Amino acid sequence: MQQQLSTLSSSPTRSLPLTGASNFRDLGGYTGHGGQPVKWRRLFRSDHLAALTPQDQALLAELGVARAVDFRGQAESAAHAYALPGVARHPLAIEPTVVQRALELQRAGRQLTAQDAVALMQETYRGFVHDNAPRFAALFRLLLASDAPTVFHCTAGKDRTGFAAALILLALGVPRDVVMHDYLLTNALYQRPPGMGSNAPEEVLRVLWRVQEEFLDAALHSVDSDFGGVQAYLVEVLGVDAAAQKELAGRYLQAG
């Protein structure tokens, strides 16, 4: 086991082979400002961490993960609580909205369609930009306070986590097409847990439990149209000014 862990640490891979989290992956290796790659083994994104096995926890310890930023809402966190030895948990709750809105439609007598689900997801992502900016600002403050290896996650590690990963990578100068590629990796990795369905049709569930370019595009379009672009959004809304961006690059980009 120890040899396997050491091999993983010395040969970075995008996806980490955890038994209890299918969507745990590293943001390292992408090319940022000045052609400098994002450092491996500093920034991780994941689905929730409550089902990690002892072997999974040993891998996180081997990777030096010291902080977990938890974007789950209060009910989600309570239903699947966790405490990992040596890992400080930082709750930055973003309450889920898609399920509530879907239920409202059903109560109104409307059968949810896949098109409805896409529209709900896009509305959710616009909400990240406007309503949940304080949580993402707090994430950047944590990243600026220390470069200790950090994992950030929600329940599935695809929406709240996906937007957070996009913001981090964009702040580090990673091109948008690469950011979108990282975002869409969820579709190849995330495994929906058994029993996580509902009475909704499978075509609707496939929308809700996967990611689409249209989702992240809705958020980024809102950033561009409502705030004048990512740079202005970082500075004026998230408080990540030029000095902070330079500090981020120093901490999380590999020097040439």
Which residues are catalytically annotated?
A: 154
* Dist. CA 247–CA 238, nearest whole Å: 15
State both tokens at 14.
């995008």
Phi, psi of 197 (to 5 degrees): -80, -165
Contact call for residues 41 and 26 (beta carbons, < 8 A): yes
